[in-house]
Chain A
Amino acid sequence: MSFRGPRSPEEDKPLNIWFQRFLTVILFLICLLLLSADRWFPKQTEGLRLHVTDTLAPLVALSSGPVRWGRERFLGFQAYVQATELASQAESLSAEIDILTLGIEQRDNLISELRKNINMPPDGLENYLSARVLIQGSNLFRPNIIVNVGKEDGTYFANGDNAVRAGLAVITHKGLLGRLQSVGSNASSVRLLTDKDSALPVLVGEFRIRATVFGMGSPLLTLTTEEALPGAIRIGDRVITSSIDPDIPFLFRVGEVVQTSPDIKVLPSASDIPELTGFVQIVLKDDLDINTEDEANL
């Protein structure tokens, strides 16, 4: 017994069949050409990627709207339940809060005095621009995310230059996430710290040993240093940013040392990418002149 069905009217035309075969061969060749171009001419293909990403980003944002709406309602309900429980506890804690506020004021005074002693620049030179995560890539070697901030978002420096540019730091509340890799009109690609081509100057542990962390295309970063004596870097040491790179905020959390032998490995603090309803912050380092209408649309 044959399982084959009736003949298609199109299949009576041999030209159609030959066209399909020809198309398949051509597409295979195009794939190989694209692979070669991406390997040997990455800058040219980067432009193509950026163009397509720019076109797709609003479409993906629109399509993911219902999912985002549902998730926001769900999280809102969870937050409401938690808030109801916490409201009763808050009253009993108000007295303790007063005492702690006094302590915080004293601590702030001490911090500002210490900052003055070490000639640290005052706060306020960094501005943060919020961006929603639209797309999360799944390439292990080159992890990236795409955010909904681009050159046409109305964020300019006071001198008229566009504030959003490649190389800027992208952070979350947990720590440094990565840098802007390429900036389009409506969307930008963020290269994460774990990218195999990522490198960052850092300080390690309580002695602030100067080192560099490299992405290896795996969830952990590799740390190398020429300063440390054997045993100077221990498991649990904090890794923070150094002041070498002007685009990266100083003394910002990068991760924690989780392995010291044979190689020193660091677990990034911001290894979890914010969910669909979450935001990342882009660190801009100058006075801004933000178009408020565009900011409201963000």
Chain B
Amino acid sequence: MSAVAPLIRRANQASPTSYLYAFTLPLLSMFLAVVLGSIPWGVNQNSLFVPDLLAPTLFFWGVHQPRNVSILIAFAFGLITDIIDNTPLGSQALAYMIMLLIAKSQASTLVHLGLFFKWGLFVLSIILFVALKLLVSLGFYGHLATVATWPAALFSLQLVLVTSVAYVGIHLLLAAVNSALPAPYFSR
């Protein structure tokens, strides 16, 4: 019971406004992640270490506010990312939805555990996410010989590494925001 008590206390102390924040802040942070991830920083995005900012943000809120982050949000942001990145329509939407489902399914356990465990599951999710994106792209753009498979595989590996590192920073930042929000409800 000791693990649940602080959550109940936070839920009881929360004001109606904080429930509004619990819904809007995840949306706002995801929008910021999309904007910051898509604006040009003066580098060749494929040759340098540019993380996917939306994936860690979505995963974090999926674990910490699972009831306020609907699968519809993952779909919408994924579709916007597909359009911005010029990727096949639906490919990133599918990948983000799977990532959110993984986060939400383990939320009730993970929320009480430390950063290391969350990071572990995130790394597994991002590997699945990137592999799915790569497979859909390779399948979508035709015969493997006609596209640069090897650079794409290297780029995907690079994306996994950089985004995994970025998760730690994003987690710490969003955890500070989340501490002011009411505790989430979980099913028994």
A interface vs B, CB < 8 Å? Answer: 1-11, 20, 23-24, 27-28, 30-35, 37-39, 45, 48-49, 52-53, 56, 60, 63-64, 67, 133-146, 189, 196, 216-219, 271-276, 278
Contact = CB atoms under 8 A, between A and B. Distances in A.
- Identify the 9 closest CB pairs spanning chains A and B, nearest first: A275-B42, A218-B148, A8-B185, A34-B90, A31-B90, A136-B40, A5-B186, A38-B89, A34-B89
Contacts of A10: 67, 185
Contacts of B90: 30-35, 38
Given A27-B71, A275-B41, A275-B42, A139 B137 contact: yes
B177 interface: no
Given A27-B71, A39-B140, 14 more contacts: A27-B97, A30-B90, A31-B75, A34-B79, A60-B39, A134-B39, A135-B38, A137-B45, A137-B85, A137-B87, A139-B85, A139-B86, A143-B46, A272-B44
Contacts of B108: 3-5
Contacts of B136: 35
B93 interface: yes
Contact of B87 (A6, A142, A189): A142
Interface stretch (B4-12, B19-27, B57-65, B166-174): B4-12
B101 interface: yes
B152 interface: yes
Nearest to B34: A60
B72 interface: yes
B56 interface: no
6 contacts: A5-B8, A35-B140, A48-B83, A138-B38, A138-B85, A140-B151
Contact of A140 (B11, B35, B146, B148): B148
B128 to A, nearest CB: 15
Given A8-B187, A34-B89, A278 B42 contact: yes
A202 B109 CA distance: 60
A220 to B, nearest CB: 8
B147 A196 contact: yes
A6 B185 contact: yes
Name the residue in A5, A34, A143, A218 with the highest tally of chain B Cβ atoms < 10 Å from its Cβ.
A5
Contacts of A7: 185, 187-188
